[in-house]
Chains A and B, each alone.
Chain A
Amino acid sequence: MEAKIGFRNTKSVIFKGIIVFFAFIMVVPLIIILLYIIKQGIFQVNWHFLTNVPAPVGEPGGGIVNALVGSFIMVLMSAIVAIPVGMAAGIYLSENPRTKLAYYSGLCVDILQGVPSIVVGIVVYFWIVKPLGTFSAISGSVALAIMMLPIVIRSTEQTLKLLPDSLKEAALSLGVPYHRVILKVIVPCGFAGILSGITLSIARVIGETAPLLFTAFGNPYLSTSITKPMESLPHLIFTYATSPYDDWHNLAWGASFILLMFVLILNIITKVITRKWKVQL
């Protein structure tokens, strides 16, 4: 009997060891990847790199300013579209959870979350690129906005659902009209949660390449016209990483480092917001 308990205890300890081993070994590839990108990229980055367009093959120097500007413009445009739309839909879903429309649009949010990003690219190609006859920054922004929507909607909905009903009831009983209750009481109370959803969605789309392949397409020159093709950080990395030239690989490493820093900073901001206001995402 004693021996059997000993055996069972040993089994339990061994099992724990296996679990700990498998759980922590996942950190190894993450650290290897992060360190490698930082090691390869950090020495590429300097003022020249941030303010010049990529150099042609064989010429030294060159930078990624076209991709920085392009990513900034496209993410900004998609945020301007996706944030109000997403917040409005999120407010509707949290305010009227039992209507038929809420059921179907909730279902659509679930579907949208699962749609592969490349499919979004195809569809936006037919919606905007083909009618306009050219690849354009605006089509890239629409594709990114569609990718942002589900995250903004879900975070708005979840945050507002957690607010106590008494808040809304108190405001309504004072005779405040419904839209002011939502905009001046409910949304400010859930502001931190919504904000963290927004930063999270920006962190997500800033690294998206697949929806931009057939929409914004890429551009080796600096362009600020939203009806012309535009470069973006992830697309620049894709183009230059798969090229056969070492100079271009270095450019892509530098761009990867910058992109990684953006994503890290946005994730840290999200973390700080959720920690500070104790938001549950």
Chain B
Amino acid sequence: MENKRLNLSNSQLKWETIFRKILIAMSVLLVLIILGVLATLILESLPSIKALGIGFLWGKVWDPVSNIYGAYPFLVGTLLTSFIALIISIPFSYAISIYLGEYNPKGWLSDLLKNAIELIAAVPSIIYGFWGLFVLVPVMRTFEMKIGVAPYGIGVFTSSIILAVMIIPYAASLGITLIRMVPSPLKEGAYALGATRFEVIKSVIMPYTRSGLFAGVLLSLGRALGETMAVTMLIGNTSAVADSIKNAIFGPGNTMASVIANEFTEADHTEYLSALIELGLVLFFVTVVINLIGKRIITKFTNN
């Protein structure tokens, strides 16, 4: 009777309930996808977790032929490429954030630069890898001959350079937004006290946005850790542990993502396959935790 008065026919009411249920179902589906991803990864890596235990993480030998699996070479490779890339990228992403956030927030020049940064993020990683293989590798070979290390061309450092370019937009675009959010009374106060532009940036803007910029760096790091194709094409894919620091940086290596990409379809027995999936599980956990921490910091920052 209530419904009649509201002039809602029964069929419309039915549609309304169905519609609400569909919305809820799709949101539940999202949760199920994540739980499914987690369950699949854990379930499929159980054979290797059981057989190898926690020692898997620091086993130094990866030799599928003799059935020995250790993740240490890939952990080192992943951390090295990501952190070198991060160190290279930080000056650029901070400079872009400061320039577009503070010096030049409006106008055609800043639009141009902003579009260029977005374009860097849009280019597919396979194209970075392909370009790197044919252009950057020969350049690196000459460079490595000059500084007196084995001229592989491909390797950890070459991958890091390409990675650095690829991850800059993630930290930069967040940094721009955050620096623009600095309240102008704070800046004006500092100017009124006679501070120069550099001093305002150093002692007002930077302290104010520090946590947010750090979150941007974390998001970049998350990208770098999981990046697959460009690194797979450039890193050289050896699972041996380098004998010296010089070789570890300039020589070929392997990351967790690249070893999965290379060996997954070749893995011919359960233990081999499940060791690779365990690498995927580790990668999943690390990137998710880093991303969630980054996102948490940003939410906190924007709410204040």
Contact = CB atoms under 8 A, between A and B. Distances in A.
Contact of B99 (A19, A36, A179, A214): A19
B33 A267 contact: no
Contacts of A149: 30, 33
A12 B116 contact: no
A161 to B, nearest CB: 14
Contacts of B168: 26
A105 B40 contact: no
Contacts of B196: 8-9, 11-12
B1 interface: no
Interface string B221-239: 0100111110001000000
Interface residues of B, number: 85
A22 B260 CA distance: 35
A14 to B, nearest CB: 8
Contacts of A73: none
Contact of A179 (B7, B15, B116, B120): B15
B199 interface: yes
A91 B23 contact: yes
Q: How many A residues touch the partner, as a band?
A: 35 or more
B37 A115 contact: yes
B27 interface: yes
A119 to B, nearest CB: 5
A118 B261 contact: yes
Given A88-B26, A116-B284, A241 B129 contact: yes
B140 interface: no
Given A33-B128, A123-B36, A115 B288 contact: yes
Contacts of B58: none
B124 A263 contact: yes
Interface in A19-74: 19-27, 29-30, 32-34, 36-37
Q: Lowest 3 A-B CB distances belong to which pairs?
A: A207-B124, A116-B226, A114-B291
Given A20-B99, A118-B280, A180-B12, 17 more contacts: A15-B198, A23-B95, A30-B165, A34-B119, A88-B23, A89-B27, A113-B291, A115-B37, A116-B227, A119-B37, A119-B284, A123-B36, A126-B40, A178-B16, A179-B16, A213-B264, A213-B265
